[in-house]
A and B are shown apart, each in its own frame.
Chain A
Amino acid sequence: MSDTYKISPDETDEAQAGPLTLPLDGWHRARGGRMVAFAGYWMPVQYEGIIAEHLWTRAHAGFFDVSHMGQIYIAGEGAEAAIEAVLPIDLSTLPLGGVRYSLLLDANGGILDDLMVTRWGTGFYLVVNGATKHDDIAHLRANLPEGVSLSHLTDSALFALQGPEAFAALAPLVGGEHPLSALSFMRGASFTLGGVEAWISRSGYTGEDGFEIAVPAESAAAIADLICAQPQVKPIGLGARDSLRLEAGLPLYGHDMTPDIDPVSADLLFGINKRRRGDGGFPGADRILPLIDTGSVTRRVGLVLEGRMAAREGTKVLWGEAEVGSVTSGGFSPSLEKPIAMATVAAELARPGTQLTIDVRGRKIAATVTPMPFVPHRYHRKGAA
């Protein structure tokens, strides 16, 4: 028996030194986390089991350690214009504490990473993917003008608390100028948590209401204990993080988007803000802006598969006998109890309801193009009760 078709946890850059440890390493091990090398770090892939952790998060609240991700602070005179020169983001409409999704693009419009940008009082706070953070930082430093500084916030741990009971679990633990209820989806503010200052935003990667929480690394274990002592909360590993984001239709960097995929093909136009679609002036704009008008040749779609056999990354997608694309990520959906996938297919076959076939190890399986998210988002949007 062997893991021939293993999916994600192999994007390590451990070639020289082996995986590094994160502030909660001992904490995860003490709680029975099964540790794997991921993005250059030892990370928990699961505790009690991926399906149980997944369903717990959808019903209650899951605690995720995402301290492998890169936290970056950019400030200085001209920082706003400098960031707009490297990202297709419109910062003029981003309020203080506002969080926005964006894309780091190369000169040809290929996707180098996806990231979150937050406006702090004095500068901008960026969260980028763990596996790409060192490349991202080098790319940003090379493209920021003199006078604009970039700091890698390596002494900050990052957690996510996700699920319909995340608010109830976290609200009693935080203090500060505002109550936690002041945050709506994609807004953040500074709070006190476990006696230290924490930056908390109402955001995440599961499709559920929830929070992302940055705290000083030296307080990480105490705050993890505090949050996980709440009856609504259990620690959740990377395995369920992947199945949750897949159900939520949220693409994963390095799989559903890569330097070979432009944002139009990846169906990530929401990462290019409206003003910038008119003004351009970001890397790859010359290629991407015409594509927005003409449409791309291929497109990222959701697929629901018949039966129970899951399609993995690289699986061919067929239309009749013709190869029309490939699966970029896939797995078994614990909430829907059937296999789901994201795939890149010929754009004319991207319409929901289109019947395709996928070839899993020689077996032909029917797959239906399905709108994403597969499981409805339950974000706490502004104005909602």
Chain B
Amino acid sequence: MACTQPQRTGLAALLLAGLALGLLAPVPALAQQKIGFVNPQRVVNETRLGQTAKADLARYVAEKSRLVRESSAQVAALRREAESPGLSAAERAKREEALRRKTAQHEQLLLENARDIKSEESRLLHYVMRRADTVLEDIGRKGAYAIIITDPNAVGYVDKANADLTDRVVRELDARSK
């Protein structure tokens, strides 16, 4: 079938318009993909693994506290010695120096403990979340999630019924760590 020149021009224009419309329209596939959210704090609190990690952290803190108590007791003993009556000036100066040193060590210990506890906490949390990651991957793949967010600060609103996957992750993780 032969087309006249004006017919050809009209066909081309139609095609171009179709292409332009196609580009401007939203992609239906993207509209189907889901976004999920997992609350890591709940994962830690509600899974056995997380609770074990918390118990580990508590033990760690207790151990650090024991060190602090020992150190405090030593400081107190030195203080008593330094303040005991009847000491010569030289002896008192010596004991005060010892007390000063011990106090400095004690303060250092407190600082280090706080730092260590924080870092241990983060290590344990990281460990639990790494285990949870494998579960997330499975859920994401099976549920066709494009993104699963685990940072509560990055989320303004979560539709708990549809987007919050925390319960699922908890169940799955517990099942795996049996």
Are A and B co-members of a single complex? no
